[in-house]
Structure 1
Amino acid sequence: VLGRKELNLPPREEARRTAIAALSNQRGTIQIGEDH
């Protein structure tokens, strides 16, 4: 999984952003940073 080393994010934050990105891709939008 890419992202943690490059961005130095905690595992939880990386996982949250990955999940948000996956959901956003399904909707065709990018909403990283929003908590739902």
Structure 2
Amino acid sequence: MSSSRLDLAERYRQHALYETGMSMRAIANALERAPSTISR
């Protein structure tokens, strides 16, 4: 897993996945990030 900040493209993708009703943990898996990174 990457430990750097989310870039703009990842933020847009995170938002799009969240809008579909995906859980934070599922989004973290899709972006290959830690759930704590996604929830911030």
The normalised TM-score by structure 2 is 0.44
Q: Which has the larger radius of gyration?
A: 1
RCO higher in structure (CA 8 A, sep ≥6)? 2
The normalised TM-score by structure 1 is 0.47
